[in-house]
Structure 1
Amino acid sequence: MDLTRHLAAARAIISPNFYPGLQGATSSSAPVPRSVTRRQAQLQPTATRFSTFDYYRDFLIKPPHMNHRHQLFTLRPQPRCFSTFRKDSRNTHQTQQVRMAADKTAAWEKQIQRNPHPDFKQVEASRPPFNPSTFFTYTQTPDPDWQFGSGANSTATTTTSPTDQEKEKKQKKHIPIDPHAPDRPAGFNYKLLISAIVPRPIAFLSTRSADGAVTNLAPFSYFQMIGHDPPLFTIGFASSLSASNAKDSLRNLAERRECVINMVSEHYVEAANAASVNAPYGVSEWGLSGLTAAYDCETVPGVARVREAVFAIEGRLESLREFESRATPGKMSTTLAVIEGTRFWVREDAVNDERNLVDPKVLRPISRLGGITYGRLTEGLELPRPDFEKSLGGMEGAKKLESKHVAN
C-alpha cells in the first residue's frame, strides 16, 4: 500500500467518534493534509495485521476548528494495539511493557539520584515547620536608584567595599558545558537544567482516555504559556508516545485531544506531588491524591478539573511533535504538546471584578526548583516598563550610553 492509499484510508475512518476534537469531520468533509512529515514518508506497510482503528489511530490530524492549515502527524503503532493477539497473549504483552517501563524508570532514578537524602523524613523533621501565615508581600527592588547604563547590582554583601566587589566579579569565571559530550550522561543535563531554569510553573494535567475508561492526573514542570490570542500552552514529555515508558497523560492526550491544566497552590502541594507516583497505566491518581474531580467543564465535558485548584484551564490539543535523542540517535526521546485554552476557571475570591487579574495572595502558587524542591511565592517587586523617550531621552540618551559601554 503506497502513501497515497494510506492517507485516503486515514481520511475515511477518522471521525468525531474517534477524536472528539474533529467536529463535523466525515470521510467526505475531512480536508486532505497538505504536508507529510519525514517519518510518514518512511512509514512502511507491515505483515502484522492491525485493526482498522488501531492502525490509523497513528495519524493525528489537527481538528477543523483550527483556522490555519491542517497538518498530519504520525505516531508509531503500539504493540498493544495488534488485533491478531489473543486476549491472554495481549495481557502478557502488556505486563511485559509495564515491567519494561518500571525498569527504565528505576534505572533513570538511579542515574539522576533525585532524592539526595538517605532518610528524608529525618531531614524534614529537623527543619522549621511550614508557616501558613506567610503571605505574599511587595518589597523594593535591589537598587531603587538604578539608572540606565548602571548594569548589574553587586552579588557581594553590602558590607563589602566597592573595590573588593569589583575584584570578586573578576574572580568569578564561567565554564562551558557541552550537553552532548561523549562522557556526559543525559541525566546530567536533566539535573543541571531543572536546577537552573527556576522557578518553573507546574501544569497539573488532568486527562482521560478516548473510551473514558482511564483517567489520569499528573504534574509537569516542562510547562509554559506561549500566547494569549489564542491562549496557547506547551507541555514537554520526556518520552515518545510509542515508548514503553510513555507518560499516561501523553497517551490520553493523544487519544482524546482534551485536557484540563490545573495550577498548583500551597494548600494541595502534597496531593499534587502524590500524583507523580510511578503507577502503571490504568491506575487513576485521583484516588491516590484524594483530590476532587469536578466534571463540570464546558468545552471538554469528559475531562475533570481539580476542584481544589484556584485556577484551571480547559484545553484541546493543537499539535504534537516528537524530537530525536542526541544521546541515542534514532530514538524519539521527547514529545512537545501545544494546547489551546478553551475555557478558564478561577475561584471568585481570587479574581478582580474585571476578571482579568488573579491575586497572588489567594492563588499562593507553587513552583518547581531543582531535585525534589518546590518553591513558594512569598515576595514580589514591581518595575514599570520604561519608555524610550521619557525614561531614556530618546536616541540622544541611547547614543551617550553606547559611547560609554565597553564590551568585556
Structure 2
Amino acid sequence: MFYEPRLQNSGLTIDPLKALVVPRPIGWISSVDLEGRVNLAPFSFFNMVADSPPIVLFAPSGRKANGEIKDSRRNVEASGAFVVNMATWDLREQMNATSGQFPAGVNEADVAGLEMVPSRIVNAPRVAASPVALECRYLQTVSLPTLDPDQPNDVIFGDVVGVHIDEKLITPEGRVDITIAKPLARLGYSLYTAVTETFAMRRPQ
C-alpha cells in the first residue's frame, strides 16, 4: 500500500506511521516550575541527537485539554533544566500513570507513588527508582511546521551535564548491560516493548 500522511488516506482505521517508526525510546522528563513544583511526564518523541557535547531532545507537541502549553515545556523554558529518567519494565505502571492529563501544579510523581531525589547539578529532581537519569541544561526550543495553528509542534533540546547509572547495570568489564534495566520503548497504538536481549555487529573496516 501507499498513502500520504497529510491526506490521511491510508484507508486504515488509525494512521500506521507511528507503528512503523519503532521502537521509540521514552524520555521520562522531570522538571520544576518557578515555584518548585515537580512535573513528571513521558514522551516517546525523544532521543539523543549528538555526543560532543551530548544533546538530547523531546517534543512536547500540542496543548493540554484546557488549551495551555504542556507543563514540561513551560517548566523547562522557565527553569532552564530537566532530567531524563529511564522508564523500565519494573516502572511501567508508574510511567503510564504519569502520562495522564493533570492540572498545572499537580505532582505526577506523587500520583504514581514515586520518590523523587535531588539532582547533582540541575534544579530538577530525578526518579529515585529509575536506574538511569540524565541531568540536562535547557538549550533551545525549535518550532516545527504544524498542520494546526492552534497546536504547536515544538522540540526542546537539552545539554546532558550529568549522568546517573545504577551500579547494578555495570559489568565487571566496565560496560553497561542495558538488558538488566529492561528499558521501555514505544511502538504504535497502545503498544510498548522492553529491551531484554541484544546482539552485536561490527562495522566493516
The TM-score with structure 1 as length reference comes to: 0.46
1:100-179, aligned counterparts within 5 Å?
A: 175-179=1-5
1:7-406, aligned counterparts within 5 Å?
A: 175-181=1-7, 184=8, 191-212=15-36, 214-239=37-62, 244-295=67-118, 297-300=119-122, 302-326=123-147, 328=148, 330-331=149-150, 333-352=152-171, 357-387=175-205
Deviation at 1:278, TM superposition (A): 0.8
Deviation at 1:285, TM superposition (A): 0.3
Deviation at 1:210, TM superposition (A): 2.0
> Larger RCO: Structure 1 or Structure 2 (Cα < 8 Å, ≥ 6 residues apart)?
2
Which consecutive unaligned segments of at least 5 residues does structure 1 have?
1-174, 388-408
Give the aligned CA root-mean-square deviation in angstroms: 2.2
Q: Is the contact made by 2:60 and 2:72 (CA closer than 8 Å) also made in structure 1?
A: no
Q: Is the contact made by 2:180 and 2:196 (CA closer than 8 Å) also made in structure 1?
A: no
The letter for the 2-side match of 1:362 is I
What is the distance in 2 between the residues matched to 1:378 and 1:350? 13
Change (3 A) 1:363 1:246: same
Which consecutive unaligned segments of at least 5 residues does structure 2 have?
none
The letter for the 2-side match of 1:251 is R
Deviation at 1:352, TM superposition (A): 4.0
Greater share of residues in strand: 2
The letter for the 2-side match of 1:202 is I
Deviation at 1:277, TM superposition (A): 1.0
Q: Is the contact made by 2:84 and 2:136 (CA closer than 8 Å) also made in structure 1?
A: yes
| Partner SS, residue 133 of structure 2 | strand
Q: Is the contact made by 1:240 and 1:334 (CA closer than 8 Å) also made in structure 2?
A: no
The TM-score with structure 2 as length reference comes to: 0.89
Q: Rg: which structure is higher?
A: 1
**% same residue:** 28
The letter for the 2-side match of 1:244 is G
Question: In the TM superposition, what whole-angstrom CA distance separates every residue of 1:264-285 from its partner, at most 9, and x where no partner exists?
Answer: 1111111011000111111110
Greater share of residues in helix: 1
Question: In the TM superposition, what whole-angstrom CA distance separates every residue of 1:303-335 from its partner, at most 9, and x where no partner exists?
Answer: 111111111100011110112323x3x445211
| Partner SS, residue 379 of structure 1 | coil
| Partner SS, residue 255 of structure 1 | helix
